[in-house]
Amino acid sequence: MLRIVRCSLLLGLLIVASISTFIEAQAATPRIDVLRVKGTINPVLVDYIERGINDAEENDSVAIIIQMDTPGGLDTAMRDIVQDIVNAQVPVVVYVSPSGARSASAGVFITIAAHVAVMAPNTAIGAAHPVSIGAEGEAQMSEAMEEKVVNDAAAYIRSIAEAHGRNMEWAEKAVRESVSATEQEALELNVIDMVAPDLDTLIAQLDGWQVTMLDGSVVSLQTQGATINHNEMRVTENFLYAIADPNIAYLLLSIAMLGIMAEVFNPGLIFPGVVGGISLLLAFYSLGVLPVNYAGILLIVLALGLFVGEVLTTSFGLFTVGGITALVIGSLILFKGGPLFKVDVGLIGVIAILMAAFFAFVIQRAIRAHRSQATTGKEELVGKTAVVKETLEPEGTVFFKGERWKATVEKGRVKPGEEVVITKVDGLNLWVTKK
């Protein structure tokens, strides 16, 4: 018995020692977090970058690598990401990759703000003019306003470049003159720190690299043998990032219009109303994170009102023409902030054609109904079929369209359940014949 107890204690000690050794080995192994940015810079991306930096700090990662391929984005979102990088307690590496990628517009500011700036072969950086970034969110600026915005952006990027010992003159030209550079040109101009063909090579090159943090401390990167943690966007983040796109937002808004109109014109269908309501809520979210032009929103709302007016008043196409015109103009000016935030003209054309086809059908039906002879009131009952509820001999009761009517049969006797044809209406009494 004593031997069994000793063996059990020894086994327990070995297990504890093994677990401790494993934990120490895991703690001793450096970890590098890799984030991936592909697409426009917007508030959803800000939340993703912020979460990635926080995760890296909590897990004592030795570095964060942001693989980036972006045409640019919103000025406000770009500044938030720059602040997150500058204030990070873990060195941040911005890696413009893979081959063929670019760091344009707002991406230039983010790349230059990194503790280590890296580009892959056959990549480009530059063209950071603030109008294309949408600094003020205006499609067109006055000359004085544009000068103020450009001066502010130039000062901002010079400050970032100076803090990291990078080429301030080139950075300013990227803002003022929209200059660009290849990866080799950027390396020679001291815009970036190194060129790396792939992630493994980059991690090897980073080993021993020294970076200066915001508090002035110098950190030497120890990346040899590091484990790679690919911190991808979550499902929710991916979904929100996907719908934060001008074309998707416009498509959701169009589906919402169609669904709501279908429900209004045909109460009780339910499905179109549910789809329209969900699409409208998602469209509101998308519009909330994009640079919206409220004049465009108002024109689209006006178009919806005119479409409803067409059905309710039957203007024989006048309201439809006005609605299509308002819809197209509103769609073209729906977003502001440069070419990145424009609805595809082809998509606008498809939606306009669908709307026109739908209301052409509605107008055709309205004209046909207008030209046909109206049959209402008592005349509508003549010739219709009713079902006998109480025996007609000759008087009794019939059932027609959910209502009971007093009826008189013109000839013979009719039993309950048999069908009769209405031949005349006399006040509240129906004259019928056996079918």
For 148-165, what is each residue's pLDDT tens digit?
A: 889 999 999 999 999 999
Highest mean pLDDT among 9-18, 60-69, 125-134, 403-412: 60-69
Q: Do 366 and 388 fall into the same domain?
A: no
For residue 104, being part of any structural domain is answered with yes
Q: Are 121 and 183 in contact (CB under 8 A)?
A: yes
For residue 22, being part of any structural domain is answered with no
Q: Do 90 and 113 fall into the same domain?
A: yes
pLDDT of res. 132:
52
| Sequence-separated (6 or more) residues with CB below 8 Å from residue 166 | 112, 117, 190, 191, 192
pLDDT of res. 3:
57
Estimate the crossing angle of helix 345-371 against helix 318-332, to 10 degrees: 170
Q: Do 215 and 268 fall into the same domain?
A: no
In this model, does residue 138 exceed pLDDT 50? no
Determine the structural domain holding residue 220 and report its residue range. Answer: 28-236
Nearest to residue 88, comparing CAs of 119, 61, 118, 125? 61
For residue 19, being part of any structural domain is answered with no
Highest mean pLDDT among 222-236, 257-271, 318-332, 376-390: 222-236
For residue 54, being part of any structural domain is answered with yes
d(CA 292, CA 279): 17
Q: Do 126 and 180 fall into the same domain?
A: yes
Last residue of a domain, one of 236, 265, 286: 236
For residue 335, being part of any structural domain is answered with yes
The residues annotated as belonging to the active site are 105, 148
- Provide the CATH number for the domain around residue 89: 3.90.226.10
In this model, does residue 23 exceed pLDDT 50? no
Q: Do 400 and 331 fall into the same domain?
A: no
What is the count of structural domains for the chain? 3
Q: Do 147 and 165 fall into the same domain?
A: yes
| Sequence-separated (6 or more) residues with CB below 8 Å from residue 322 | 303, 306
pLDDT of res. 24:
47
For residue 344, being part of any structural domain is answered with yes
Last residue of a domain, one of 331, 350, 371: 371
Last residue of a domain, one of 212, 236, 260: 236
For 218-232, what is each residue's pLDDT tens digit?
A: 999 999 989 999 999
- Provide the CATH number for the domain around residue 383: 2.40.50.140
Q: Do 91 and 163 fall into the same domain?
A: yes
- Counting residues of the chain whose pLDDT is more than 90, the rounded percentage is 53
For residue 398, being part of any structural domain is answered with yes
Lowest-confidence region among 227-236, 240-249, 268-277: 268-277
